[in-house]
């Protein structure tokens, strides 16, 4: 298959908060596995992060850390473009133009905005505008596919609406993107509360998440502490009461890429949940050890990391700069150095 025929994929990842195994198994691992079948753009969305208050030094560290983790997880800089959103100025510029064709009512309806704004005394304009920046991210690249969690489905719908509205007003310009949502079974749940998705917001709650950079001892401790039940059977189940065991089996399945029945077979002779937890911790540690090692190397060698990111930003600009020119020209802006 020639590279022209490859589907283009765009996804964004927030640098705020430590990445955990929910991010890894729910998103990153799949990106790595499919990186050669598609043309991929993975963007660390620092401009989205500043829609809520951030400590500047922490944000900078977390942005670099997220980038290093993506490379350490196996994204190959020679086939995918990993870049920092704020280093490619087309995103913010395109966002402005899209703002001017996006009805305010569309943004006020967004459930994530309503949730985040909720009881806050003061909310930034950026928080309201968040989905327009996300639409700019996606449609600047003519992305066909947007892999996101279920919570981002509405934002991708909005990106489609904005793309269609622009096309209608100014003529065919944008590809209308599709959200690609992982099946519910691929979701990692909180170890302390297996009926809620593992989330960065609770990453500090003891025993909730396993961070991608956690040391083996910590991983073991978190898994050992995971909530289970009193049924004692090590099988997959939809029963909410057994969701703890289901989640541990799901993690094991995600690491080993085995089928459900193969996974259950692996535990047929296990002696209780103690054994289950030991095995899950072992496979997780084995999976994460090499990632942590590569991460440590990259984060120490900041020149190398900067070079990889500059390469990603160049590739991103090579697509999004001409696209932005086209957009500017369509809405009637005078391009520099041209008619
Ligand atoms: N809003 C997304 C999230 O929180 C991150 C994001 C920003 C994104 N821009 C994007 C995801 C573009 C996909 C495509 O998860």
For residue 164, the domain's CATH number is 3.40.50.620
SS3 69: helix
Average pLDDT over residues 5-28: 90
Residue 259 has pLDDT above 80, yes or no: yes
Q: Are residues 166 and 238 in the same domain?
A: no
pLDDT at 2 over 70: no
Torsion of CA 52, 54, 60, 62, to 10 degrees: -80
| pLDDT greater than 50 at residue 156 | yes
Q: Which domain holds residue 271?
A: 200-297
Tell me, what's the pLDDT at 18?
81
Residue of higher predicted confidence among 217 and 150: 217
Measured in Å, residue 13 CA sits from the centre of ligand 1 at 6
Residue 205 per-residue DSSP state: S
- Name which of 288, 255, 298, 285 is nearest 71 in CA terms: 298
On whether residue 126 sits in a domain, the answer given is yes
- pLDDT on residue 185: 67
Query: In terms of domains, do 57 and 33 share one?
Result: yes
Q: Distance between CA atoms of 75 and 202, rounded to whole angstroms?
A: 27
d(CA 194, CA 158): 30
Main-chain dihedrals φ then ψ at residue 237, nearest 5 degrees: -160, 150
Residue 339 lies in a domain: no
1-10, 192-201, 266-275 — which one is most confidently predicted on average?
266-275
Is the pLDDT confidence value at 95 over 50? yes
What pLDDT, on a 0 to 100 scale, did the predictor assign at position 121?
A: 86
| Per-residue confidence (pLDDT) for residue 282, from 0 to 100 | 98
Question: Is residue 291 domain-resident?
Answer: yes
Q: Are residues 62 and 117 in the same domain?
A: yes
Domain match, 220 and 174 both: no
Domain identity same for 252 and 306: no
Active site residue 200: yes
Average pLDDT over residues 247-260: 96
- Site to substitute for ligand 1 among 12, 40, 81, 175, most atoms within 8 A of C-beta: 12
Mark whether 115 and 259 lie in a shared domain: no
58 CA from centroid of ligand 1 (Å): 20
Report pLDDT for 205. 84
Q: Which two tokens stand for residue 277?
A: 């937890």
Query: Which CA distances in Å does 18 have to 39, 77, 82?
Result: 27, 22, 18
Q: What b-and-e string marks burial along 213-247, b requiring 16 or more CB atoms within 10 Å of the CB?
A: bbeeeebbebbeebbbbeeeebeeeeeeebbbbbb
319 & 181 share domain: yes
Predicted pLDDT of residue 338? 63
Q: Residue 1 domain-assigned?
A: no
User: Average model confidence (pLDDT) for the chain?
Assistant: 94
pLDDT(23) > 70: yes
Q: How far is the CA of 150 from the centre of ligand 1 (A)?
A: 11
| Nearest atom, ligand 1, residue 134 CA | 9
Structurally, the chain folds into a number of domains equal to: 2
Instruction: Walk across the sheet containing 39-44 and list its strands.
Output: 80-84, 39-44, 8-13, 145-147, 178-180
- Whether residue 32 sits in one domain with residue 170: yes
Q: What is the distance in A from the centroid of ligand 1 to the CA of 45?
A: 7
The protein residue whose alpha carbon is closest to atom 7 in ligand 1 is 12
Residues 242 and 288 in one domain: yes
Please name the residues in contact with 261: beta carbons below 8 A apart, sequence gap of 6 or more.
none
Query: Residue 128: pLDDT above 60?
Result: yes
Residue 288 in any domain: the answer is yes
Task: Provide the CA 43 distance to its chain's centre, in angstroms.
Answer: 9
Q: Is the pTM of this model over 0.75?
A: yes
Rounded CA separation 150/312 (Å):
27
116 catalytic? Reply is yes
Question: Percentage of the chain with pLDDT > 70?
Answer: 98
List Cβ neighbours of 34 (8 Å cut-off, separation of 6 or more).
Answer: none
Asked if the model's pLDDT at residue 66 lies above 90, the reply is yes
Instruction: Map tokens 């905005």 to a residue.
Output: 113
Residue 289 clears pLDDT 70, i.e. is over it: yes
Using the atom order of ligand 1, give the atom closest to the CA of residue 131: 1
**Dist. CA 331–CA 165, nearest whole Å:** 13
Please tell me which residue in 7, 38, 114, 200 is annotated as part of the active site. 200
Of the candidate ranges 68-77, 130-139, 330-339, the one whose mean pLDDT is the lowest: 330-339
Amino acid 4: pLDDT: 59
Ligand 1 centre to CA of 12 (Å) is 4
State how far Cα 111 lies from the chain centre.
19
- Give me the pLDDT at residue 203, please: 74
What CATH number corresponds to the domain at position 254? Answer: 1.10.240.10
Cα-to-chain-centroid distance, residue 160: 19
Q: Are residues 135 and 232 in the same domain?
A: no
State the pLDDT at residue 3: 47
Which residues contact residue 134 at a Cβ distance below 8 angstroms, ignoring those fewer than 6 apart? 12, 45, 48, 152, 155, 158, 159
Catalytic residue among 6, 197, 323, 328: 197
Pair 16, 141 in one domain: yes
- Residue 36 shares a structural domain with residue 144: yes
User: Residue 24 carries which DSSP code?
Assistant: I
Q: How far is CA 162 from CA 99, 142, 167, 240, 295, in A?
A: 9, 13, 9, 39, 38
Ligand 1 proximal residues by C-beta, below 6 Å:
10-12, 14, 45, 48, 134, 137-138, 146, 148, 152, 155
Segment 293-302 mean pLDDT? 96
pLDDT band at 204 (very low <50, low <70, confident <90, very high): confident
β-sheet bridge partners, residue 43: 12, 83
């Amino acid at each position: 298959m020639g590279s022209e025929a490859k589907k283009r994929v765009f996804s964004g990842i927030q640098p705020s908060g430590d990445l955990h195994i929910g991010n890894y198994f729910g998103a990153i691992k799949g990106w790595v596995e499919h990186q050669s079948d598609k043309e991929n753009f993975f963007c660390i969305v620092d401009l989205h992060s500043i829609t809520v208050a951030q400590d500047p030094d922490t944000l900078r560290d977390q942005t670099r850390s997220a980038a290093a983790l993506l490379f350490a997880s196996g994204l190959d800089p020679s086939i995918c473009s990993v870049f920092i959103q704020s280093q490619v100025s087309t995103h913010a510029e395109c966002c402005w133009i899209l703002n001017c064709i996006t009805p305010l009512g569309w943004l006020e309806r967004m459930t994530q905005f309503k949730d985040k704004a909720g009881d806050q005394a003061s909310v930034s304009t950026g928080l309201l505008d968040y989905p327009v920046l996300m639409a700019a991210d996606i449609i600047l690249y003519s992305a066909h596919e947007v892999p996101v969690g279920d919570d981002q489905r509405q934002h991708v719908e909005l990106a489609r609406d904005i793309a269609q509205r622009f096309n209608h007003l100014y003529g065919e310009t944008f590809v209308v993107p599709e959200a690609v949502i992982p099946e519910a079974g691929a979701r990692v749940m909180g170890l302390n509360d297996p009926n809620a998705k593992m989330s960065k917001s609770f990453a500090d709650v003891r025993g909730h998440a396993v961070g991608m950079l956690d040391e083996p001892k910590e991983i073991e401790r978190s898994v050992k502490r995971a909530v289970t039940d009193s049924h004692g059977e090590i099988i997959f189940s939809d029963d909410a009461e057994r969701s703890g065991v289901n989640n541990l089996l799901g993690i094991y399945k995600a690491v080993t890429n085995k089928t459900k029945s193969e996974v259950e077979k692996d535990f047929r002779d296990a002696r209780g949940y103690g054994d289950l937890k030991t095995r899950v911790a072992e496979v997780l540690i084995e999976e994460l050890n090499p990632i942590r090692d590569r991460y440590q190397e990259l984060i120490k060698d900041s020149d190398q990391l900067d070079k990889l990111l500059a390469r990603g930003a160049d590739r991103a600009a090579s697509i999004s700069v001409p696209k932005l020119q086209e957009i500017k020209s369509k809405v009637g802006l005078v391009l520099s150095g041209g008619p």
